[in-house]
Amino acid sequence: SLSKSAADEAALSKSSLSKSSLTESALLDSVPGLLYIGGEWVASESKATLTVSEPATGEVLKHIADASPTDGLRALDAAAASADEWAATAPRMRGEYLRSAFDLLQQRKDQFALLMTLEMGKPLSEAAGEVAYGSEFLRWFSEEAVRISGRYGQNPEGTGQIVVSQRPVGPSYLITPWNFPLAMATRKIAPALAAGCTVVVKPAELTPLTTLFVAKLFEEVGLPAGVLNVITTSRASDVSAPIIADPRLRKLSFTGSTSVGKVLIKQAASNVLRTSMELGGNAPFIVFGDADLDKAVEGALAAKFRNIGQACTAANRFIVHSSVAAEFGHRLTDRVNGFVIGRGTETGVTIGPLINDRAVDKADDLVQDAIARGANLLTGGHRSLRAGSFYEPTVITNVQPESTILREEIFGPVLSIVEFDNEDEAVAMANDTEYGLVSYVFTENLARGQRMIEKLDTGMMGLNVGVISNAAAPFGGVKQSGLGREGGAEGIHEYLSTKYTLIPN
């Protein structure tokens, strides 16, 4: 069902494009192109603007305000000024704002999906999936706001009462990447607001429109001015450093690459700032000889090609038992050959563009390096002939251990397979990386599956499944994949600090 005849496809895409083009410009007009500071939409004090373009076409979508360091500090002023009042707002009330924003987002779910497809490139059906996932954080944390609690008990000596309570950590700076424009924003904003923290959000320069559209939701549901502030900027480092250095800031939450995360941890050290770091991944996808291959193929397609491979949770290394490697490779190749490449708004498209040409070059370099070192190419292996930042979905097997593709995040539609012969070898290969975000394991042997939970160095694991993200579950990694967790009961604790009081008898 993924492939269509060329004629069908052309007819479909033509009709869906002309039908949607009016909607697209109306939608883009309805997104505020300004900074949201202290409840006001304002231009940058420097009057500078930045241009947001569509990766599928290279065309300009919108010019928006480009914040300066002064604008960044103004946003922090607003967050600091409203911090006490927001912390004192009843938890039920804080939850109600989040719930109202969730409800309004549901009414606008088609607009959010289209906006993400335009600025980021993912197919509309996947953008709709991100709307469902991303909006759920607003609902989940609207419910968690009223469950913040502590404990109370006698000390062991019997001489006093120990009282433990949870307080909002304070003004928080939230930096998000471009690959999941909605979910990465709501995954931070919702727990912060639920906990009683005010925030400054800085979305990625490449995909800032979705976050501005989220700010508009909160404005419309009447969130008090200054609780949520959004700055869009092309000068991430210049604007962020003074905010992070300011003693009024109490928390930094970052999602992005490990290299930038390390820079930010160093900056945060000077004020001993609380940090949460959701960084890169290099996920192993292990297929044992006893796996259900149908499940493994479905899981592999989702874990690899969702978001055009541009996910921190994307399977990066397929570690497959030699008894099933050839069969697995061929079945996958058949399915991949049925993929339809195109602009994400076109009907039937399953593979959109990469975020930019640099990403295309990087994917191609990794593939060529692997082939030069002895890998076999089953399909793809080159950039697409279409205009725009497209790369052909690719499958390579027999990838040799020293290949760069096994060390670095591919962030593209490239599936690379290495073989193993016994369980210990598979575990050693899976753990042979500085990352530890997520691992996927396919086996029908329950005892083996449970052994893998123990043996893999990973923050998350999917057992016979290729997509695991859920607002109710703690998302995060070990090793250089980061610090802290987002989602679940754990997610709100990133924005709370523990206070202990002793009351003598």
SS (H, E, C) 420-450: ECCHHHHHHHHHCCCCCCEEEEECCCHHHHH
Tokens of 252: 């930094």
- In the complex, the smallest distance separating the C-beta of residue 304 from ligand NAD, rounded to whole angstroms, is 14
Contacts within 8 Å (CB) and 24+ apart, 147-155: 147/489, 148/91, 148/194, 148/195, 148/492, 148/496, 150/498, 155/502
205 a catalytic residue:
no
- When asked if residue 280 is in the footprint of ligand NAD (CB under 6 A), the reply is yes
Rg (CA), the chain: 23
- Least distance to ligand NAD from the beta carbon of 489, Å? 18
Nearer to ligand NAD, 204 or 297 (CB): 204
183 binds ligand NAD (CB under 6 A): no
Q: Annotate 396-429 with b (16+ C-beta within 10 A) or e (fewer).
A: bbbbeeebebbebbbbbbbbbbbbbeebeebbeb
| Residue (181 or 393) nearer to ligand NAD, CB | 181
Instruction: Give the separation between CA 361 and CA 343, rounded to whole angstroms.
Output: 19
Q: Which is nearer to ligand NAD, 104 or 265 (CB)?
A: 265
Give Cα 110 to chain centroid, integer Å.
Answer: 20
Distance separating alpha carbons of residues 274 and 270, to the nearest angstrom: 11
- Considering only 44, 210, 240, 403, the residue that binds ligand NAD (CB under 6 A) is 240
Q: Considering the rule CB under 6 A, would residue 255 count as an interface residue with ligand NAD? A: yes
Burial of 88 (0-12, 13-18, 19+ CB in 10 A): exposed
CB atoms near residue 82 (< 10 Å): 22
Distances (CA, A) of 417 to 280, 359, 366, 435: 20, 21, 13, 18
- Taking CB under 6 A as the criterion, which residues in 377-416 touch ligand NAD? 409
CB 434, CB 480: distance < 8 Å: yes
Binding status of residue 279 toward ligand NAD by CB under 6 A: yes
- Nearest CA to 97 out of 212, 232, 219, 233 is that of 219
* E strand or H helix at 314: none
Among 13, 142, 179, 439, binds ligand NAD (CB under 6 A): 179
Query: Given candidates 86, 102, 133, 178, which one binds ligand NAD under the rule CB under 6 A?
Result: 178
CA distance 50 to 252: 24
Q: How far is the CB of 158 from ligand NAD (least distance, A)?
A: 46
Catalytic residue among 278, 392, 409, 419: 278
User: Residue 221, interface with ligand NAD (CB under 6 A)?
Assistant: no
Q: Which of 181, 281, 284, 491 binds ligand NAD (CB under 6 A)?
A: 281
Q: Using the rule CB under 6 A, which residue among 127, 148, 260, 496 binds ligand NAD?
A: 260
β-strand partners of 461:
439
Binding mask 434-473 for ligand NAD (x = CB under 6 A): ---x------------------------------------
Q: Which of 45, 205, 298, 357 binds ligand NAD (CB under 6 A)?
A: 205
Binding-site string for ligand NAD from residue 411 to residue 440, where x marks contact by CB under 6 A and - marks none: --------------------------x---
Regarding 278 and contact with ligand NAD (CB under 6 A), the answer is yes
Size of the site for ligand NAD (CB under 6 A): 28
Binding-residue pattern over the window 304 to 323 for ligand NAD, x denoting contact by CB under 6 A:
--------x-----------
Q: Which of 113, 175, 215, 296 binds ligand NAD (CB under 6 A)?
A: 175
Binding mask 102-121 for ligand NAD (x = CB under 6 A): --------------------
Q: Which of 177, 181, 381, 466 binds ligand NAD (CB under 6 A)?
A: 177
- Give the contacts of 154 (CB within 8 A, at least 6 positions apart): 160, 161, 162
Pairing status of strand 35-37 against strand 40-42: antiparallel
C-alpha 137/C-alpha 364 separation (Å) is: 35
Which two three-digit tokens encode residue 119? 């600025």
Supply the minimum distance, in Å, between the C-beta of residue 437 and ligand NAD. 6
| Nearest to ligand NAD of 45, 205 (CB atom) | 205
CB of 366 to ligand NAD, least distance (A): 14
**What DSSP assignment string belongs to 83-139?**
HHHHHHS-HHHHHHHHHHHHHHHHHTHHHHHHHHHHHH---HHHHHHHHHHHHHHHH
Distance of closest approach, residue 347 Cβ to ligand NAD, in angstroms: 28
| Least CB distance to ligand NAD at residue 55 (A) | 13
Token digits of residue 29: 């007009």
Interface positions, 14-33, toward ligand NAD (CB under 6 A): none
Residues that bind ligand NAD (CB under 6 A): 175-180, 184, 202, 204-205, 236-237, 240, 255-257, 260, 263-264, 278-281, 312, 409, 437, 477, 482
* Residues with catalytic roles: 278
